[in-house]
């Protein structure tokens, strides 16, 4: 009987250790929606390659920065700049900043419609002025909307086309306006232009729309530094960067 109790106790101890180890192998990751398509493709590779379990949480491009700033804890957070509040919160380690890729703005029209000229800043300006309705993401809701508005300001047309702008809460909604003929053109990140009702015209000039960096940070409250570091290393590895490039993102190197 004594040996039976000892065996039961030993099994319980082993199960306890096993459960503890399993808990340590889970890595939590926060990421913005504009990066979702690419991340969904490469995330399974991390789990199979390292053995760590990945728990993903998605949020809006602007909202993820606020989540970090107000103290929501994730082992790794992927953010789109600017993120001064997140850095000032002390919840992420600035020294851990790792650029994974960059998002680029593009212009699209309804599928089958003639593609306007946007080959030069002058041509782009004329195209925007000639359009009756221009759709993009609400700058207060999404990072692509914020980047689009900045680009239009730099191009010097924002005040001239303000009455023509139709805002949507997401890129899918903005794309829908064009696909349904409710807007002449739309502008958001090219990697999100998967709507079959759209034809991509081209990228906006970089002098007005510089690529938006996708940056990973490790939390200052990280549970398992080795696991978090492994995740960041994987997401910035050459094999994963090749996948980003196929999706229309610019590689970090």
DSSP string, 121-145: HHHHHHHHHH-S-EEEE-TTT-HHH
Rounded Cα distance between 18 and 237, Å, is: 30
Classify the C-alpha dihedral 217-237-171-202 as positive or negative. Answer: positive
Note whether 178 and 110 are within 8 A (CB): yes
Tokens found for residue 87: 């850095």
Domains of the chain, earliest start first: 22-102+212-251 (3.40.190.10), 105-203 (3.40.190.10)
Q: Which of 113, 167, 159, 107 is nearest to 138 (CA)?
A: 167
Pairing status of strand 165-168 against strand 26-32: unpaired
Cβ(144)–Cβ(168) below 8 Å: no
> What is the spatial distance between Cα 217 and Cα 102, in angstroms, rounded to a whole number?
15
Residues 171, 144 contacting (CB under 8 angstroms): yes
| pLDDT tens-digit readout, 12-61 | 444 444 444 444 489 999 999 999 999 999 999 999 999 999 999 999 88
Contact call for residues 105 and 203 (beta carbons, < 8 A): yes
Report the distance separating Cα 18 and Cα 28, nearest Å: 20
Q: Does residue 216 carry a pLDDT above 70?
A: yes
Residue 249: pLDDT over 60: yes
> Is the C-alpha dihedral spanning 85, 91, 97, 101 positive or negative?
negative
Q: What is the pLDDT of residue 11?
A: 46
pTM of the predicted structure, to 2 decimals: 0.85
d(CA 152, CA 141): 17
Q: pLDDT, tens digit, for every residue of 131-170? A: 999 999 999 988 999 999 999 999 999 999 999 999 999 9
Residue for token pair 């002058």: 122
């Amino acid at each position: 009987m004594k040996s039976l109790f000892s065996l039961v106790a030993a099994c319980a101890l082993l199960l306890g250790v096993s459960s503890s180890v399993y808990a340590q192998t889970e890595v939590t990751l926060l990421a913005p929606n504009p990066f979702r398509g690419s991340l969904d493709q490469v995330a399974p590779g991390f789990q199979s390659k390292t053995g760590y379990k990945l728990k993903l949480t998605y949020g809006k491009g602007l909202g993820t920065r606020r989540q970090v700033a107000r103290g929501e804890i994730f082992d790794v957070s992927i953010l789109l700049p600017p993120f001064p509040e997140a850095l000032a919160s002390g919840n992420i380690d600035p020294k851990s900043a790792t650029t994974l890729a960059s998002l680029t703005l593009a212009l699209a029209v309804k599928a089958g419609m003639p593609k306007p000229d946007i080959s030069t800043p002058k041509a782009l300006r004329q195209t925007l002025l000639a359009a009756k309705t221009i759709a993009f993401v609400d700058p207060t809701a999404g990072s692509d909307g914020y980047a689009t508005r900045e680009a239009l300001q730099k191009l010097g047309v924002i005040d001239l086309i303000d009455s023509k702008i139709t805002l949507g809460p997401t890129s899918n909604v903005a794309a829908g306006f064009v696909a349904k003929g409710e807007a002449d053109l739309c502008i958001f990140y090219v990697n999100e232009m998967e709507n079959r009702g759209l034809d991509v015209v081209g990228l906006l000039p970089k002098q007005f729309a510089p690529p938006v960096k996708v940056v990973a940070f490790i939390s200052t409250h990280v549970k398992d530094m080795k696991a978090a570091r492994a995740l960041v290393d994987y997401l910035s590895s050459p094999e994963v960067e090749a996948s980003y490039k196929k999706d229309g993102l610019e590689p970090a190197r």
